[in-house]
């Protein structure tokens, strides 16, 4: 990683072009500057005019967001996907020419993206635009951290590029994105909801409980899909706005690939890295919110002392602790969970902190943690084998790690739950729940119905009849 003090875009481009000629290879340059406060959602909406893919990440409780437009470079990986991705990211970082006088997380060279839940699962046409692992370095990146805004321009230059022409194009793009004379589009409504074969799904729950009773597994997480037809094409920026407003304490994300957009609001952090410090959180065990404070407190109390939910939660805590101990030192786990409230649901919550040992990276932690017992089951291999054979669903990126990382060893990945894949005026929503030996198929079906609500409400309400 070559840190440069040069601040003029054109002179940086000239330097990179001359190095590309010398080394007969393309060079990535990344240049960050402070800009006036800009609404990241208007930035995302303005990017639509360019007909390029857009990426978005927001940690609503921390007043932090990253909005990306276009793609200066993409990392794709298939077989040993973590190893391949880490190698490619390391190489890109090492060879890039970076100008970033700020040490703010999410500035400098940043990559954003995600991966599929299970790379061994047969991919269907629904997820044709999303590879098993895809990380994008956006061409233009707006980072909002507290009250400060930063713009990063990333561009890959070749030996035959013209610095003046490139600079002109990038400056024009910047002006358009930072001064959008637009409003966010209006909201859409839901015309029709279609449950996908409910009775077959309930039957699968019964198979899972039988499988568990025979001691092949302790817990299996089963997901299902809800198909939604919208009144018009959904505007990503407007859906994101509603998710941010309605889902506090969540990570709001969007990843576009060739016009299809996977987005959601996940309360579940997988791992956060700040230099050597890492933080993972266990969010397992779910109950609805109450209509009054008294009812809410009563539900929270019974969730805290409910045997099924506590044992489900303890599975996950134990697994996270063991995973962290593999790569970290000073692993710290509280004795018992607390309640983590969201708009429609409340969960049991335990944070796990640690210090990353040398030689290891966020990729190692992700590989070790995913899928957590909250999304796969226990033991991992047996539950995944059951899911592959019986779930009849291509989860795609649902339930998988999505997030970002920067060239200063900061990053954060969440588990992509409470999410959906939007394709024009259609959406496929996903929800799952943990099956144990005494699970009731009708109750589990009802629980997944509650978990669809965050996405249904931002797409036009959750009260329409299913067909």
Active site residues: 219, 268
* Residue 208 CB burial class (10 angstroms; 0-12, 13-18, ≥19): buried
434-446 as b/e: b if 16+ CB within 10 A: bbbeebebeebbe
How many whole angstroms separate alpha carbon 402 and alpha carbon 394? 17
Residue 397 φ then ψ, to 5°: -85, -5
CA 206 to chain CA centroid, Å, is 31
How many whole angstroms separate alpha carbon 41 and alpha carbon 129? 23
Residues 69 and 199: beta-carbon distance below 8 Å: no
3-state SS assignment for residue 196: coil
390-422 as b/e: b if 16+ CB within 10 A: bbebbbbbbbbbbbbbbbbbbbbbbbbbbbbbb
Q: Which run of H or E residues covers position 377?
A: strand 377-378
How many whole angstroms separate alpha carbon 296 and alpha carbon 299? 5
Quote the tokens at residue 115: 């991966």
CB < 8 Å & 24+ apart, contacts of 263-266: 263/56, 263/236, 263/239, 263/419, 263/420, 263/422, 264/416, 264/417, 264/418, 264/419, 264/420, 264/454, 264/455, 265/418, 265/419, 265/454, 266/402, 266/414, 266/415, 266/416, 266/417, 266/418, 266/419
Residues 270 and 405: beta-carbon distance below 8 Å: no
Residues 280 and 274: beta-carbon distance below 8 Å: no
Annotated binding residue at 312? yes
Q: Output the known binding site.
A: 312, 447
Q: Output the known binding site for Mg(2+).
A: 312, 447
């Amino acid at each position: 990683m070559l840190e440069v003090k040069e601040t003029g875009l054109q002179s940086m481009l000239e330097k990179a072009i001359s190095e590309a000629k010398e080394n007969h290879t393309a060079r990535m340059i990344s240049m960050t500057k402070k800009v006036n406060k800009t609404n990241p959602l208007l930035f995302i909406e303005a990017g639509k005019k360019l007909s390029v893919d857009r990426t978005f990440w927001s940690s609503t409780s921390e007043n932090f967001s990253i909005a990306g437009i276009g793609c200066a470079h993409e990392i794709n990986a298939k077989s040993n996907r973590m190893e391949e991705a880490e190698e490619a990211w390391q190489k890109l970082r090492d060879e890039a020419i970076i100008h970033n006088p700020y040490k703010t997380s999410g500035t400098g060279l940043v990559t954003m993206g995600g991966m599929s839940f299970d790379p061994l699962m047969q991919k269907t046409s629904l997820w044709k635009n999303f590879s098993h692992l895809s990380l994008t370095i956006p061409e233009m990146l707006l980072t909002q951290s507290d009250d400060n805004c930063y713009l990063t321009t990333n561009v890959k230059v070749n030996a035959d590029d013209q610095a003046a022409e490139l600079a002109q194009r990038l400056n024009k793009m910047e002006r358009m994105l930072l001064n959008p004379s637009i409003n966010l589009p209006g909201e859409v409504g839901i015309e029709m909801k279609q449950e996908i074969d409910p009775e077959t799904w309930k039957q699968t729950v019964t198979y899972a409980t039988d499988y568990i009773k025979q001691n092949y597994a302790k817990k299996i997480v089963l997901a299902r899909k809800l198909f939604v037809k919208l009144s018009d094409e959904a505007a990503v920026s407007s859906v994101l706005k509603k998710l941010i407003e309605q889902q506090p304490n969540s990570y709001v994300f969007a990843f576009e690939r060739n016009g299809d957009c996977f987005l959601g609001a996940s309360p579940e952090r997988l791992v956060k890295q700040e230099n050597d410090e890492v933080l993972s959180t266990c969010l397992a065990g779910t109950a609805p919110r109450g209509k009054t404070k008294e009812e809410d407190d009563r539900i929270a109390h019974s969730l805290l002392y409910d045997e099924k939910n506590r044992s489900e939660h303890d599975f996950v805590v134990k697994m996270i602790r063991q995973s962290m101990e593999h790569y970290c030192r000073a692993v710290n786990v509280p004795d018992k969970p607390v309640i983590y409230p969201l708009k429609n649901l409340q969960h049991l919550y335990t944070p796990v902190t640690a210090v990353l040992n040398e030689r290891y990276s966020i990729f190692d932690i992700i590989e070790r943690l995913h899928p957590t017992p909250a999304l796969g089951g226990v033991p991992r291999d047996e539950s995944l084998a059951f899911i592959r054979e019986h779930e009849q669903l291509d989860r795609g990126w649902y339930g998988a790690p999505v997030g970002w990382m920067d060239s200063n060893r900061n990053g954060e990945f969440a588990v992509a739950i409470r999410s959906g894949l939007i394709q024009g005026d259609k959406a496929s929503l996903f929800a799952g729940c943990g099956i144990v030996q005494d699970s009731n198929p009708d109750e589990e079906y009802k629980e997944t119905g509650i978990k669809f609500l965050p996405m249904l409400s931002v797409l036009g309400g959750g009260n329409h009849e299913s067909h």
